[in-house]
Amino acid sequence: MSINCNKNAPVGVFDSGVGGLTVAREIMRQLPNENIVYFGDTARVPYGSKSRDTIIRYSRQIIRFLRTQEVKAIVIACNTASALALDVVRQESDIPVIGVIVPGARAAVHETANKKIGVIGTEATIRSEMYTKIMQEMDPEVSVIGKACPLFVPLVEEGFAKHRITEEVIDIYLRSMKESDIDTMILGCTHYPLLRSGIRTYMGEQVHIVNPAYETAMDLKELLLDRHIANDVPREDHAAYTFYVSDAADKFKQFANSILPYDIETTKQINIEEY
């Protein structure tokens, strides 16, 4: 497939499901001219408990699908896929592919004063230690505490984000981190910004919370400008946003409309296993 140099071509964004919409939302805010094709792998969600080989296979299929949509760049909005698959799929790709880990890591390293940083994420993300490796490459003096919080995603998906149960689960997972002296914490899973207020209240105001979505959109902007592929045509209406999922398009659309600044008109379902 040839490299797409058309500035008007969309940016591809993908995630294991709905969580990556928090990244798409930031791109819509910061890059209002960019068209977006979003893919959520709702038929195989979640990724956080699965193996590296499987996450790489799924990411390759999704990238093959996004290439059929003639995207000019790809954002892996999922922390798990960014941690386990980005290195491999980027090498295979002739268009730029970025993940959420490097931008989140850079923001945290920039933010910390005492060089003690906490990272929370899925089991696979934390086990990969990718945030730790990248932050210590940026600043070898940084020390990192990682904690997998596997119940956070189902709690968010079940609508328990503000529930007393979730406060207790936050206490169970984050107590050791609260008792440590970290001054910065990375929300290393795209679902976690939806628990931000509970986590902030629990951790206290002295801990700076980093949401990699914001930094990822900034990185994407810089990348598109550097390569001269940013969409610089001013628009009257918002850009074109297209949504694909591998299962349950209606449920996805409902969730998306609750968190995006624009209403999604349609979400199309595709069989991702065919790619």
268 binds a copy of itself (CB under 8 A): no
175 binds a copy of itself (CB under 8 A): no
Q: Which is nearer to a copy of itself, 158 or 232 (CB)?
A: 158
Nearest to 38 by CA among 249, 273, 275, 221: 249
The residues that bridge with 97 in the sheet, in sequence order, are: 74
Shortest gap between Cβ of 202 and a copy of itself (angstroms)? Answer: 15
Shortest gap between Cβ of 50 and a copy of itself (angstroms)? Answer: 5
Active site residue 5: no
**Residues 268 and 246: beta-carbon distance below 8 Å:** no
160 binds a copy of itself (CB under 8 A): yes
Q: Which of 13, 62, 78, 217 is catalytic?
A: 78
Distance in angstroms between the alpha carbons of the first and the last residue of the chain: 14
Site for a copy of itself in 242-261 (CB under 8 A): 246-248
Site for a copy of itself in 11-70 (CB under 8 A): 42-45, 49-51, 53-54, 57
Shortest gap between Cβ of 270 and a copy of itself (angstroms)? Answer: 12
157 binds a copy of itself (CB under 8 A): yes
Q: Which positions lie near a copy of itself, rule CB under 8 A?
A: 42-45, 49-51, 53-54, 57, 150-151, 154-155, 157-158, 160, 165, 168-169, 172, 246-248, 271, 273
**Which residues are known to be catalytic?**
78, 189
